[in-house]
Structure 1
Amino acid sequence: MALASALGGCAGATAVPRPVQPMTRPVPPPTAPRITQSNSLIGHPANTALSLFGKPRLDIKEGMGRKLQFEGSPCILDVYYYAPKQGAEPIATHVDARTPDGRDANIDSCISALGK
C-alpha cells in the first residue's frame, strides 16, 4: 500500500515542456559584390565619375549601394558603388553601358564618348 501511494503521488505531477527558443545567429555585415570587371571606373569612388562626366542623369541610393547614371547621345552608362567593407568609402564595383535604344554598348567606348 505504501508503494501504491508513492506511485500515485508521482502520477499527479506532470512536467510542462518548455517552449523551444529559436536559434539566433549573428547577422554578418553586408559585403560588396565581387568585382569582375576591369575598366577605368572600377575600384574608384564616385568623385572619379563625377569629375569625368559631370552631373549624373540619376543618382539613386538603395540600401548599401548607389547607382549613378550618365547619358549622352551615343550611350547610357550605369555605375554601381558599394563599400568594400563597413565604414569604407564606396567604390565602383560594376559598370553597364547601352545605346539609347537599349542594345548593349562597349563600356570603354561609352566612357570615352561621355568624358568631358
Structure 2
Amino acid sequence: MRLLAPLALSLAMAGCASTPATPRPGRAPFVPIPTGTAGLQGVMGRNSGQLTALLGQPVADVREGAARKLQFRSGTCVLDTYLYPRNGGEPVVTYLDARQPDGSPIDRASCVAAFSIRRGG
C-alpha cells in the first residue's frame, strides 16, 4: 500500500504536466482589395444611352424595379453595370463588376480599358 500512494501521486502529477506548445503558422498578411473607382471614371455615373455609346450594345438588359443591369462582352471580359436612380433622376451606373469570359477574376478598370481599346478610344 505504501508503494501505491507514491505511484498514484506521480501518475496524477504526470497528467498535469504541460506539453510544449507547437508554434502556429503565421497568418498571411492582409492585402486590401481595391474597391475604389480609379480607372472607372468613364463608366461610373453614366446613363444607359451614354454606356451604349461608350461600350456598344449590351448583350443583356435586366430590369428589376427601379434598378437595371446592362451586361457588355468583349473578347477580353464581361462587364456588368448596375444602374440605379439618384435623387429621383434617371438611373446611372453606381456599381460595376467584371470577369474574364471563363469566369476568372479581372480588374474592373482593365476590363473597361479593354472596351475602350476595342472601340478605338
TM-score w.r.t. the length of structure 2 is 0.61
Whole-Å separation in 2 of the counterparts to 1:37 and 1:48: 21
Residue in 1 that maps onto 2:96: 95
Structure 1 gaps, min length 5? 1-35
Identity value in percent: 38
Whole-Å separation in 2 of the counterparts to 1:90 and 1:67: 10
Equivalent residue letter for 1:75: C
CA contact (8 A) 1:81 1:90 kept: yes
1:54-88 Cα distance to aligned partner (Å, 9 max, x none): 110001111110000000111000000000122x1
Whole-Å separation in 1 of the counterparts to 2:105 and 2:87: 31
Structure 2 gaps, min length 5? 1-34
Equivalent residue letter for 1:105: I
Of structures 1 and 2, the one with the larger relative CO (CA 8 A, separation 6+) is 1
Say what the alpha-carbon RMSD is for the aligned residues.
1.4
Partner secondary structure for residue 50 of structure 2: helix
Whole-Å separation in 2 of the counterparts to 1:103 and 1:45: 27
